[in-house]
């Protein structure tokens, strides 16, 4: 009973969080939900779009909403601006000779935090990229003989400019796989854009005054709760069908892996929770499929990118839609 109340409390908190972020990032509700999904699924998120679409603000707002503008609650928010000359050490940290103790001490880099904003990740050299991605996957850093675990809550929001831009090192597919979700930010619609211009000065201010709505513990609790979200067998079958569908689709050169299927399931659960539900629906399946799978697939051509996944998902949705799940009982 207590748990139910807690869940309801948590669900309400998520709504609060979303609303809170939305006061700053206008007209990006879906993206906010995706970010939270990645957070709850204990994954990381990659946001891709042209500069100036609000990626960084989003990450900041999220961090502030949890930690508050002051660091009183112990949520550590770090931001790294990736550049081509950045070294892995700049991320991980390095051993520095302590004059007093006469020994090398490990000076933790910015990775040792709860929220990491990896800005323009594709501008860094592959060496740095892989260092970061390894941390994301393993949740620990090994330097020399010592292994340093990262924080219990470690969430990376990476942003990247569109791959075609100059001075970028595109992330290889294998590394993209580490990001649970990749979203496109996109421009806001005209009405929202006008709103933004009208109070453009206010954005900075509002960022500073972002209220803390959740504590870290609540986030951790939510992460735990995410695992309890119920997934119907048919939805799992649906995930299987979609994943396999991408492998057999003629326009997809490289289909989704089994790992991506697992990620998909995790994200589904988280997304359901973000939407205030304790069960996964067909809509979740559809919404998440693109966010989770799209960046893991290699398409034959540009046109296929538009259609192929959609076709696979539609087929699956069509199947589910016509299924009479309750008839048997």
Partner 1 sequence: MAIGKIHSLKKTLFQLLLLAVPTIIFICFILWRLNNFYAILDNEWLSQGLYFAAGCILAVGLFSYRFRFITITALVLLANYIIYATIQNVTIGEFDSFYASVKFYIFVILFSAGWFIGYGFSRSKYLTIIWSVLLLIIEIVLISKTADITVSSILNGLIPVLIYSFYIIYTTELIRNINEDETHFGWFVGKRLGAFAIVLLILFIAILSIFKGNFTAIEKEWGGGGKGQAGKGKGNSESMTQKDKNGGVSNKDQSKLSGSLNKDKQLVFVAKLDNFFENSNTPNPLYFTSVYYTKFDTATQTFEIDDKVPYNDLFTVDPSKIPLYFKKTDPSIIKKSLGVLNRKVVTTEVYNVSMSANSFVAPSHAFYCQPVAVPKEYKKQYQSAYVAKMWVSELNSAYFIYNPAGNKDLEHFQEQRFNLLRQIDQITGPDKAFMDYYTYMPSNEEYQKIGTLAHKITDEHPLPIDKIIAIRDYFLSKDELNQPLYQYSDNPGIPGLPSANKLNYFLFENRKGYCAYFAGATLFMLRSLGIPSRVVAGFLASDRSSKNPGWYWFYQDQAHAWVQVYFPEYGWIDFDTTIPDVNTQQAQQPDGTPPTDVPATYLVIDGTIVKTDTIKKLVTISSTKILYHDTEFVSKARYPLLTDVSLAAITSDTGEVSLKQLKNGIHVTAVSHAEALKTIYLQPNDSLLTVVNRLSKPIPVDEVKIITKEDQTKSKDTEKEKTSQPIDWLTVLCIILWMILGLCILTLFYPWFYWLYLNSKAKKAYPSVAEKAYHIHRAIQYYLNQMGHSYKYLGPEEFAYRIDQHYGTGYGYFNTLYQKARYSKIALTASEAEWVIQFYAPFIEKVKQQIHFKNRVKHFLNLYHTLNYFSKPKIN
Which residues make up the interface to partner 1 (CB under 8 A)?
A: 230-232, 234-235, 245, 249-251, 277-283, 285-287, 307, 310-312, 314-315, 317-318, 321-322, 324-327, 329
User: Is 20 within 8 Å of 118 (Cβ atoms)?
Assistant: no
C-alpha to C-alpha distance for 210 and 20, rounded to whole angstroms: 8
Nearest residue to 222 via CA among 17, 1, 72, 29? 17
Using alpha carbons, list the distances in angstroms from residue 257 to 139, 209, 239, 320. 21, 43, 12, 22
User: How many Cβ atoms are within 10 Å of 130's Cβ, its own excluded?
Assistant: 17
Instruction: State how far the Cα of 183 lies from the Cα of 148, in Å rounded to an integer.
Output: 30
- The smaller minimum CB distance to partner 1, of residues 194 and 323, is found at 323
Rounded (5°) CA angle 178-183-186: 155
Minimum Å distance from CB 295 to partner 1? 20
Q: How far is the CB of 273 from partner 1 (least distance, A)?
A: 13
Residue 8 beta carbon to partner 1: minimum distance, rounded to whole angstroms: 12
Nearer to partner 1 by C-beta: 205 or 324? 324
Cα distances (Å, whole numbers) of residue 129 to 24, 51, 79, 225, 281 = 30, 19, 15, 31, 35
Angle of CA points 14, 272, 187, to nearest 5°: 70
Least separation in angstroms between residue 172's CB and partner 1 is 28
Nearer to partner 1, 199 or 283 (CB): 283
Closest approach of Cβ 238 to partner 1, in Å?
10
Q: Rounded distance, CA 284 to CA 280, Å?
A: 6
The residues, any chain, with a CB within 8 Å of residue 320's CB and separated by 6 or more, are 234, 235, 238, 282, 285
Please say which residue, 207 or 317, places its beta carbon nearer to partner 1.
Answer: 317
CB of 157 to partner 1, least distance (A): 26
Spatial distance between the Cα atoms of 63 and 212, rounded to a whole number of angstroms: 9
Closest by Cα among 6, 1, 38, 70 to 225: 6
Pick 95 or 244: Cβ nearer partner 1: 244
| Choice between 54 and 245, CB closer to partner 1 | 245
Of 215 and 311, the one with the shorter C-beta distance to partner 1 is: 311
29 vs 307, which CB is nearer to partner 1?
Answer: 307
> Minimum distance between the CB of residue 79 and partner 1, rounded to whole angstroms?
35
Considering the complex, what minimum distance in angstroms separates the CB of residue 113 from partner 1? 36
Q: Which is nearer to partner 1, 208 or 248 (CB)?
A: 248
* Angle subtended at Cα 23 by Cα 191 and Cα 27, rounded to the nearest 5 degrees: 35
Per DSSP, 87 falls in state -
SS3 content of the chain, % helix, strand, coil (to 5): 55, 15, 30
Least distance (Å) between residue 298 CB and partner 1 = 17
């Amino acid at each position: 009973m207590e748990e139910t109340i807690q869940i309801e409390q948590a669900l309400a908190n998520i709504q609060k969080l979303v609303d809170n972020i939305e006061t700053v990032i206008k007209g990006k509700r879906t993206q906010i939900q995706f970010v939270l999904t990645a957070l709850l699924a204990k994954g990381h998120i990659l946001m891709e779009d042209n500069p100036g679409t609000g990626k960084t603000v989003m990450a900041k707002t999220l961090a502030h909403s949890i930690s508050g503008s002051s660091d009183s609650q112990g949520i550590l928010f770090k931001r790294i601006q990736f550049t081509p000359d950045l070294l892995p050490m700049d991320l991980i940290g390095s051993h520095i000779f302590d004059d007093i103790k006469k020994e090398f001490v490990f000076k933790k880099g910015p990775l040792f935090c709860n929220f990491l904003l990896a800005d323009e990740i594709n501008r860094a050299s592959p060496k740095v990229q892989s260092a970061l991605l390894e941390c994301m996957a393993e949740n620990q850093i090994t330097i020399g003989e010592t292994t340093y675990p990262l924080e219990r809550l470690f969430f990376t929001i990476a942003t990247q400019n569109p791959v075609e831009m100059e001075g970028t090192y595109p992330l290889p597919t294998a590394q993209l796989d580490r990001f649970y979700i990749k979203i496109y930010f996109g421009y806001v619609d005209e009405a929202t854009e006008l709103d933004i211009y009208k109070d453009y000065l206010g954005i900075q201010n509002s960022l500073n005054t972002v209220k803390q709505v959740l504590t870290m513990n609540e986030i951790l609790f939510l992460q735990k709760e995410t695992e309890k979200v119920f997934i119907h067998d048919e939805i799992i079958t649906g995930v299987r069908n979609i994943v396999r569908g991408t492998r057999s689709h003629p326009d997809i050169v490289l289909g989704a892996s089994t790992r991506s299927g697992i990620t998909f399931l995790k994200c589904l659960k988280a997304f359901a929770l973000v939407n205030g539900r304790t069960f996964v629906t067909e809509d979740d399946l559809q919404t998440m499929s693109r966010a989770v799978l799209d960046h893991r697939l290699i398409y034959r051509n540009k046109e296929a990118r538009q259609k192929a996944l959609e076709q696979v998902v539609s087929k699956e949705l069509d199947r589910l839609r016509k299924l009479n799940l309750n008839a048997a009982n």
